[in-house]
A and B are shown apart, each in its own frame.
Chain A
Amino acid sequence: MVLGLGLLPIAGIGLSAYQPPGLVVLPSLDLARLGPVVLRSLALALCVSSLSLVLGTALAWLAEKTRYPGSVIFARLGVLPLAIPSYLLAGILREEFAPAGTLGGWLGSLDGFTGFGPCVVVLTLACTPYAQILVSAGLRAIPVSEEEAARSLGAGAGRRFWVLGVPRLRPTWAFALMLIALYVISDFGAVAVLDCRVLTWELYNARGARDAYRIALAVVACVIPLFALIRGLQGSGEPQVTLGVGRSASSPLRLRGAPLLLAYCAHAFIVGLGVIVPVLSLIRWVVLGWSAGANFAPIGPQLLVTLVCATVGAAVILAASFLPASFVQQAPRRGRWVEQGVYLTSSLPGVLVAFGILHLSLFLERRLGTALGGESLWDFLDRLGGFLLLGYVMRFLSQGYAAVRPAIGAVDRRMLEAARSLGVTRLRRLARVWLPAMAPGLSAAYLLLFISVAKELPVTLMLLPAGSQTLAYRIFDAHSEASLPDAGWAGLLLLGTVGVAQGLVTLGGRRVR
């Protein structure tokens, strides 16, 4: 199954080269343009990952090792940009920094907020929380007693970071760098909204052209080495040599003067542009729309489609994750390849996955023709959202797998043996032992998948049955149509949906603790 999923988009890319001439709706690509596009994609990945890492490390250090007025609240707000999809953030900042926008007006902008530079800003905002979370975990892994030993020997904050932090954080930095680079190369929403001519946006625009497969292959060529590096870093991740044990945190450093000012600047950038400006802008667009008597497009159907897609999609992904997770749990050695396959499948950009499925289904339709009742297989699967669900499974299989595998592992074998020795049947063991033990992990995984599917854009955009729209789709459309009140309304509803699901995850986590 995993092998099939992994190869499916590759097969689709291959088949796209042999589509009949009737399908070609765009002129052939100017291949001379492909080189600069690849370079631009790699440059974007390098800029964003480097900036995110520097900022994320600084914010993680501030959160873990220092105290100053507002530090706790800033640390919590700092990860909120994760909840805002990159296409929404890009759309908001594009409008706000435009010459006619609020921030653009204040700053006296002459040009629109589009292209490479703005894309670096938006994606850095979106990726810094990832870096912050990873580096924070790395900093927390340094035993407190080592910190205290260094302090008692006269080492100041800078020397402690250099001597104790840097050697420990090197693998984390390398991993975060690769992970963010992969995220940036795969990103579709922000580059599309900000019209940055990188591979994913070019692939989307050229999806109907016969030689679009060349772009798709260029995407694969960029993604696979990064994926291999990430897995290599994870695989070779020997346990950190730690001679001490953690203990209650040592007294944190109190920031004053210039370092404090720098800290507030970093927070202002992340929290201001990544959280406050987006939320206020969405509200402002809606309020302005109302006060101007704008005709809001009905949003109910989009909300309903989003909820249905997220509810069904999360359930299907979770169910699909059980197969590789149980296989790996039962045969860890052989399962390593299955695990690699799961992660490889989900590391492919959404636009590439959708492109592959699209062309594979077109090929199958041509070969199989019409099925029962005069309806083609394509129409049948398309109408039921079969391709869409397949796309979701491929995009988020690794996320489901990463949650299901520990949930299966959380079942204490001794409890099962005790139940068997007491003569409990297989069905009752499932109901009374397996499910209660797995329930907390599975419910959290389900809600997180729900959030991911609700926010997803490229697969939805390309594979959602014709005539339907999700909130993400609507936001993308509203930006294209420059209908800010509609974009604001859909954005607020999407953030509300994500917020409710995230709240349930947090609540569930607290109850489990």
Chain B
Amino acid sequence: MFDSPLEFQDVGHCYGEQLVLSEVNLSLAPGELVSVLGASGSGKSTLLRTAAGFVTPTSGSIRLSGRVVVSGGVERVAPEERRVGMMFQDFALFPHMTVAENIGFGLRESGEARIRELVGVLGLDGLEERMPGSLSGGQQQRVGLARALAPKPALLLLDEPFANLEGALRFEIGREVLRIVEQERIGALLVTHDREEALGLAHRVAVLAAEGSTGSRLEQVGPPETVYRWPRTAAVASLTGRVSFTENEMQRWSSVRPHEATFSPREGGPARVVERRYMGASWEITVATPGGEVLVDAPTDAVPSLGAHGDLLVHVETVIPPLTP
């Protein structure tokens, strides 16, 4: 039995009259990285900031390692006493301090050994006395990670930390974060709008989506593959990848991923290619069917012509609740 590094219980938050979050329930295990995926404005950063203590949720409670830090709209533990590590999109390094001073900022004692250890682990050797402004984006984010990890927090909060990094670097630093989270048995909550990042890094994905004016709620939480292949709602399907929605004769709605359907040209077939888009490794064709338009990936050497008729074969489809116009 362990204390969860982070536990949201029925957390809700309003900005004035506007409901932003509603009934969020989520619990992290030590050494687990959970990504919160959501569109811009869905409240995912607000959710993360409630855990950090920078926003006090208007309802529900939050526990950090078993300790209630906020409940019923009342802050019980101030942000500076929660001892969580946080990484920011803009790195938020202290520009007038050296790399070593930044890393050691949260340490109560001088902690030179811990600084040396993190410098080594994160490949920052030789940069200890440099100022943050003279570092590359990747190096700055490594310093941000080292600074957050230095006090050995039980929880790491990651606020779109890779958004300002180049493609390859994002993946590299993301993997480093994941390795450290697993090694040091830290719970980590990653907030992102990038589905590749959310699916590729996390042990579990939590999809946050708004429904009308009721505020955003967690629509689905689960392992990345489950959430991707069997989305519970249209919002989850859309947020986790390219998808089409079709309605069959029984008026049941289902979601179809482009790579889970094939189009076979046939004179007089019920489906018809209405649009083609070159994607590099393949073509994405839009096929009009009686149940609606469906996106299909087609190999570059067998791409059907525009207006071609044929049959659409769906290999995997997931039934979802009816779409509301």
Contact = CB atoms under 8 A, between A and B. Distances in A.
Interface of A: 143, 145-146, 148-156, 163-164, 167-168, 241-245, 250-251
B80 A243 contact: no
Interface residues of B, number: 36
B316 interface: no
B116 to A, nearest CB: 18
A150 B52 contact: no
B301 interface: no
Given A149-B86, A149-B88, A155-B105, A241 B96 contact: yes
A154 B108 CA distance: 9
Given A143-B92, A243-B132, A251 B55 contact: yes
Contact of B90 (A145, A150, A151, A156): A145
Given A148-B86, A251-B54, A251-B79, A154 B106 contact: yes
Given A149-B86, A152-B84, A167 B96 contact: yes
A250 B78 CA distance: 12
A151 B80 contact: yes
A154 B151 contact: yes
Contacts of B79: 148, 151-152, 251
B95 interface: yes
A156 B92 contact: no
A24 to B, nearest CB: 59
B92 A154 contact: no
Nearest to A159: B80
B151 A153 contact: yes
Interface of B: 52-56, 78-86, 88-97, 105-106, 108, 132-133, 140, 144, 147-148, 150-151, 157
The 3 A-B pairs at the shortest CB distance, nearest first, are namely A153-B106, A145-B92, A241-B95
B90 A143 contact: yes
A154 B81 contact: yes
Contacts of A242: 95
Contacts of A150: 80, 94, 105
B52 A148 contact: yes
A131 to B, nearest CB: 22
A251 B52 CA distance: 11
A151 B94 CA distance: 13
Contacts of B92: 143, 145-146, 148-149, 243-244
Nearest to B95: A241
Contacts of A146: 92-94
Contacts of A251: 53-56, 79
Contacts of B96: 167-168, 241
B133 A152 contact: no
B88 A244 contact: yes
A244 B90 contact: yes
5 contacts: A149-B86, A149-B147, A150-B105, A151-B79, A155-B106
A151 B54 CA distance: 9
A492 B309 CA distance: 87
Nearest to B55: A251
A162 to B, nearest CB: 12
A154 B90 contact: no
Contact of B93 (A148, A152, A243): A243
A245 B90 contact: yes
B77 to A, nearest CB: 12
Nearest to A154: B80
A36 to B, nearest CB: 43
Contact of B54 (A148, A168, A241, A244): A148
B248 to A, nearest CB: 46
Nearest to B91: A243
Contacts of B88: 145, 148-149, 244
B148 to A, nearest CB: 8
A187 B200 CA distance: 67
B105 to A, nearest CB: 5
B53 A243 contact: no
Contacts of B93: 146, 149, 243-244
Contact of A163 (B78, B85, B94, B133): B94
A164 B81 contact: no
A166 to B, nearest CB: 10
A155 B56 contact: no
Contacts of A152: 52-53, 79-80, 82, 84-86, 106, 148, 157
A241 B96 CA distance: 8
Residue from the set B56, B83, B85, B91 with the largest chain A CB neighbour count within 10 Å:
B91
Contacts of A143: 90, 92
B255 to A, nearest CB: 35
A250 B86 CA distance: 14
Contacts of B53: 151-152, 251
Nearest to B88: A145
Given A143-B92, A244-B91, A154 B83 contact: yes
Contacts of A156: 80
A168 B55 CA distance: 26
B127 to A, nearest CB: 15
Nearest to A156: B80
Contacts of B157: 152
A330 to B, nearest CB: 34
B80 A155 contact: yes
B82 A153 contact: no
Residue from the set B81, B88, B108, B144 with the largest chain A CB neighbour count within 10 Å:
B88
Given A148-B54, A151-B79, 8 more contacts: A149-B144, A152-B52, A152-B79, A152-B106, A155-B105, A163-B94, A243-B91, A250-B54
A153 B106 CA distance: 5
Contacts of B95: 241-243
Nearest to B92: A145
Contacts of A244: 88, 90-93
Contacts of B86: 148-149, 152
Residue from the set B80, B85, B144 with the largest chain A CB neighbour count within 10 Å:
B80
B147 to A, nearest CB: 7
A152 B56 CA distance: 15
Nearest to A241: B95
Contacts of A149: 86, 88, 92-94, 144, 147
Residue from the set B79, B133, B148 with the largest chain A CB neighbour count within 10 Å:
B79
A165 to B, nearest CB: 11
Nearest to B94: A146
A154 B84 CA distance: 9
Contacts of A243: 90-93, 95, 132-133, 140
Contacts of B97: 163
A153 B147 contact: yes
Nearest to B81: A154
B82 A164 contact: no
A91 B132 CA distance: 53
A252 B54 CA distance: 9
Contacts of A241: 95-96, 133
Residue from the set A154, A164, A168 with the largest chain B CB neighbour count within 10 Å:
A154
Nearest to B140: A243
Contacts of B133: 241, 243
Contacts of B106: 152-155
A164 B105 CA distance: 11
Nearest to B56: A251
Nearest to B93: A243
A151 B52 CA distance: 9
Residue from the set A145, A164, A167, A250 with the largest chain B CB neighbour count within 10 Å:
A145
A154 B96 CA distance: 19
